[in-house]
Amino acid sequence: MVSIANKRSVMVLYSDTVNPVGHSVRIVLAEKDINVDIRYIQGNELPEDLAELNPYNTVLTLIDRDLVLYDEQIIMEYLDERFPHPPLLPVDPVSRANNRQLRFRVMRDLYRQVEQLTAEDEIAAANARKEIRDNLTAIAPIFSQKPFFMSDEYSLVDCCLAPLLWRLDHYGIKLPLSAKVINEYARRMFDRDAFKLSLSLWEKEIRL
């Protein structure tokens, strides 16, 4: 595995064009203006070299010389430490822990439902849409307290939230008027140059 990775002089990211988790990583790369070779994978058949590098046979994989990472949160934190400007994590340990906890909750409360949204089981998909809508509605007041999610500074939490919000219409999720502050927050995230640069062709087309 190491010998394969060492052949690469430029950082490589394997990502599919659809999954919001991979989109989160691409936002971090764009925010930091990192020179990276993004290789989009479509379908379920992985390239042979990727299958050798990633023991879990998942698409999202970052290769930086002899380092191979395939968990989105580890990838994002590695990129923030490897390329510290602009910082996307707080400096002090308590704030860092809070940031990690918020990302954990975003993944657990919102992203775990995404796979059900595209399932053939319409009842499961409907339940997933309702859970995402209800969870977002419940936390809507938080979005009005700070310019970014529970922070005065743009962070990895925003990188995680923005891809899901970009896909709400595509997923058939309509937020109630009581959650309009989330739509305002989303527009600010979508207006960032890095967000625009992070979009795959498919991601651009779903909002046309």
In DSSP terms, 144 is beta-bridged to: none
pTM score? 0.91
pLDDT by residue (tens digit) across 73-89?
Answer: 999 999 999 999 999 99
pLDDT of residue 8: 54
Q: What are phi and psi of 148, to 5 degrees?
A: -120, 175
Q: Which CATH class is domain 2-82?
A: alpha beta
Q: What is the model's pLDDT at position 43?
A: 72
Rounded CA gap, 34 and 163, in Å?
A: 19
pLDDT > 90? residue 180: yes
DSSP annotation string for 53-72: H-TT--S-EEEETTEEE--H
Which fold would CATH assign to domain 93-192? Glutathione S-transferase Yfyf (Class Pi); Chain A, domain 2 (1.20.1050)
CA angle 167, 168, 172 (to 5 degrees): 115
Q: What is the pLDDT of residues 137-174, one digit of tens each?
A: 999 999 999 999 999 999 999 999 999 999 999 999 99
* Residue 2 pLDDT class (50, 70, 90 cuts): very low
The answer to whether the beta carbons of residues 164 and 115 sit under 8 Å apart is no
Q: Domain-by-domain residue ranges, the chain?
A: 2-82, 93-192
